[in-house]
Amino acid sequence: DQQVKQNSPSLSVQEGRISILNCDYTNSMFDYFLWYKKYPAEGPTFLISISSIKDKNEDGRFTVFLNKSAKHLSLHIVPSQPGDSAVYFCAARVSGTYKYIFGTGTRLKVLA
């Protein structure tokens, strides 16, 4: 079964501190991982991605880490801002296919 899990449904962080969102996957047949952010009444928007051949990718305040041995993906946001408050989905692409499997999302609240 190709599963992507986000075990924390919600997370609260103080403004200026680090937000760490986690994602675990149960299948080694993923070759590409992505994070999406979703505001209410909007569709998800792409945030950052990482190939399975890398272990880190950085874009401004956002860094994604991939630990293949642990089948674990994390998104770090530093420093966190109130505008980062949203639902964050991790997604994984099944190797050799066009299927992207999404997690259930983590709702991040950044407190001012």
Would you tell me which residues interact with other proteins (CB under 8 A)? Answer: 4, 6, 9, 32, 34, 36, 41-46, 49, 89, 91, 93, 97-105
Q: How far is the CB of 16 from other proteins (least distance, A)?
A: 29
Q: How far is the CB of 92 from other proteins (least distance, A)?
A: 11
* 34 vs 77, beta carbon nearer other proteins: 34
Q: How far is the CB of 65 from other proteins (least distance, A)?
A: 19
- 3-state SS assignment for residue 14: strand
Q: How many CB atoms lie within 10 A of CB 13?
A: 19
52: left (phi over 0), alpha (psi -120 to 50) or beta: alpha
* 35 vs 63, beta carbon nearer other proteins: 35
**CA pseudo-torsion sign 94, 73, 39, 83:** negative
Beta bridge partners of 1: none
* 83 vs 98, beta carbon nearer other proteins: 98
Q: How far is the CB of 72 from other proteins (least distance, A)?
A: 17
Residue type, 66: L
* 65 vs 100, beta carbon nearer other proteins: 100
Q: What is the enclosing helix (H) or strand (E) of 89? A: strand 86-94
